Copies of this chain bind each other. A is one copy, B any other.
Amino acid sequence: MNSSGMVPAGTELAREMGLSEEMAECIDNCRSCELVCLGMATGHCLRKGGRHVEEDHLRTMIVCARTCALAAEVLTTGSSLHRQMCAVCADVCDACIASCEDLDEMELCIEACRRCKDSCEAMTDM
């Protein structure tokens, strides 16, 4: 805990847990991507209908959310297997970007996937 006796938020908390700045940021980006993919798959896409609810697209969105969640979890444990998990997470984000680029009003998802992918790729080199 910091001097105020509060649990610090986000990256500050991760730093306090002994994670590097880069890992803390990657966890944050994975969590944001999970939030956007799952939230849009069960909200925006269902409301839009049509191509937004095609099987391939919705499956990709849901799998992307779940993969981001696991990448964040593995980073949190400090396991060295985070490299493999971040590599596959970057691939899945790429597939999600491709699935969203053909559709209207998926910019928030595309941007979240791009940031998550960039963070994850940086992790695979460490």
Contacts and interface: CB of A to CB of B under 8 A. Distances in A.
Interface in A66-118: 66-67, 69-70, 73-74, 76-81, 84-85, 87-88, 91-92, 95, 107-108, 111-112, 115
Interface string A3-34: 00111011001101111000000011001101
A1 interface: yes
A56 B13 CA distance: 22
Given A9-B10, A35-B76, A42 B62 contact: yes
Interface residues of A, number: 60
Given A58-B46, A108-B16, A115-B7, A84 B88 contact: yes
A63 B49 contact: no
- Centre residue among A6, A10, A28, A79 by max chain B CB count within 10 A: A79
Q: Chain A contact residues: over half helix, strand or loop, or mixed?
A: helix
Contact of A79 (B27, B63, B69, B111): B63
Interface of A: 1, 5-7, 9-10, 13-14, 16-19, 27-28, 31-32, 34-36, 38-40, 42-43, 46-47, 49, 53-56, 58-60, 62-63, 66-67, 69-70, 73-74, 76-81, 84-85, 87-88, 91-92, 95, 107-108, 111-112, 115
